[in-house]
Structure 1
Amino acid sequence: MYIFSSFREPGTEGLYLLYSYDGYHWKNLGGPYLEPKVGDSHLMRDPSIERGPDGTFHMVWTTGWKGDRGFGYASSEDLVNWSKQQFIPAMEHEPTTVNVWAPELFYDDEKDRYIILWASTIPHRFPKGQEAEDNNHRMYYTTTKDFEVFSETKLFLDPGFSVIDATIVKRAKDDYVLVLKDNTRPERNLSVAFSDDPLGPYENYSEPFTKKFTEGPTVIEKQNSWIIYYDAYEDKEYLAVETKEFKSFEDVSGEVQIPEGHKHGTIVKASETVLEHLKNKAQEIRSQEN
Structure 2
Amino acid sequence: MKKYFVILCFIVARLSAQDGEVYLFSYFIDNGQDGLHLAYSRDGYQWTALRNGQSFLKPTAGKDKLMRDPCIIKGPDGLFHMVWTVSWNEKGIGYASSKDLVHWSPQRYIPLMEHENALNCWAPEINYDAKSKRYMIYWATTIPGRFPGTDVSGDGRYNHRMYYAFTKDFKAFSKPALLYNKGFTVIDATIRENNGQYIMFLKDETKLPAPQKNIRMATSRYIYKDYSAPSMPITGNYWAEGPSVLQKGKTWIVYFDKYRDQRYGAVQSVDLKNWEDISARIIMPPGLKHGTVFTITEKEFETFFK
5+ long unaligned stretches in structure 2 = 1-21
| Aligned residue in 2 for 1:283 | none
How far apart, CA to CA, are the structure 2 residues paired with 1:22 and 1:212?
25
- The equivalent position to 1:220 in structure 2, one of 226, 230, 246, is 246
Given that residues 192 and 246 in structure 1 are in contact (C-alpha distance below 8 angstroms), is that contact kept between their aligned partners in structure 2? no
* TM-score calculated relative to the size of structure 2: 0.87
Give the match's secondary structure for 1:275. helix
Give secondary structure in 1 for the equivalent of 2:148: coil
Letter of the 1:182 partner, please give it: D
* C-alpha distance in 1 between matches for 2:64 and 2:99: 27
1:194 Cα deviation after fit:
0.9
| Equivalent pair of 1:128/1:136 in contact (CA under 8 Å) | no
Contact 1:122 1:134 in 2 (8 A): no
Number of residue equivalences: 277
Q: Secondary structure of the residue that 2:157 maps to in structure 1?
A: helix
Q: Is the aligned partner of 1:207 residue 2:238? A: no
Query: Residue by residue, what CA displacement relative to the aligned partner does 1:106-163 show, whole Å, maximum 9, x if unpaired?
Result: 1112222111110000000112422367210011110111112111111111110100
Partners of 1:187 and 1:172 lie apart in 2 by 30
For structure 1, which segment, 265-274 or 57-66, has the greater mean C-alpha deviation from structure 2 after superposition? 265-274
Structure ID, larger Rg: 2
Superposed displacement of residue 43, structure 1:
0.4
- Which among 99, 113, 123 is matched to residue 120 of structure 2? 99
Quote the Cα distance in structure 2 between the aligned partners of 1:278 and 1:183.
Answer: 37
Residue pair 2:26, 2:71 contacting (<8 A) in 1 also: yes
> 1: CA distance between counterparts of 2:304 and 2:31?
23
SS at match of 2:280: helix
Q: C-alpha separation between the residues in 2 aligned to 1:274 and 1:39?
A: 31
Q: Look up the match of 1:141.
A: 164
**Matched-pair contact (CA < 8 Å) for 1:188–1:215:** yes
Are the equivalent residues in 2 in contact too, given 1:140–1:154 (CA < 8 A)?
yes
Deviation per residue, 1:157-179 (Å, 9 max, x gap): 11101000011011022x11110
Question: Which residue of structure 1 lines up, in the alignment, with residue 260 of structure 2?
Answer: 234
The residue number in structure 2 matching 1:197 is 222
Q: CA RMSD in A?
A: 1.4
Tell me the CA shift for residue 200 of structure 1.
2.2
* Distance (whole Å) between structure 2 residues aligned to residue 132 and residue 81 of structure 1: 38
Structure 1: 4+ residue segments shifted above 3 A: 276-280
Question: TM-score normalized by structure 1?
Answer: 0.92
Q: Which amino acid aligns with 1:269?
A: T
What's the secondary structure of 1:134's corresponding residue? coil
| Overall identity of the aligned pairs, in % | 48
Per the TM alignment, residue 277 of structure 1 is displaced from its structure 2 partner at its CA by: 5.0
